Amino acid sequence: VSTDSSINLSLTTSKSDGSSGSGIGANRDVANATWTTRLGTRSNGSIGLRMTRATVTAGDVDENAVIATLTTRFN
C-alpha cells in the first residue's frame, strides 16, 4: 500500500429484539474490506468486499457483494 492508496477493514455486529413485543428479533454481522487508490490527479478508484450474515426467526440470510467505485473531480 503506497501513500496514494489505503485499506479499510470493519466488522459491525448488531442485535434487535423487535419492536412493541412482536418477538421478531434479528442478529446481524457485517464485514467490510475496501481498497482505495489514486488513479490520476483528479480520480480515485476503490474495490470492496462485503459479507453480511443475519439471523432472524425464519432462518439465516447470507449476502456477499463486490462493490467498485470510480470517483472523478471536475474543476
Q: Is 38 a residue whose pLDDT tops 80?
A: yes
- What does the pLDDT average to over 49-66? 90
Q: Where are the domains of the chain?
A: 5-72
- What does the pLDDT average to over 56-74? 91
Please tell us whether the domain made up of 5-72 is placed in CATH 2.20.200.
Answer: yes
- What does the pLDDT average to over 59-73? 94
Interatomic CA distance for residues 55 and 33, integer angstroms: 22
Cell 450474515, residue located: 53
Model pTM greater than 0.85? no
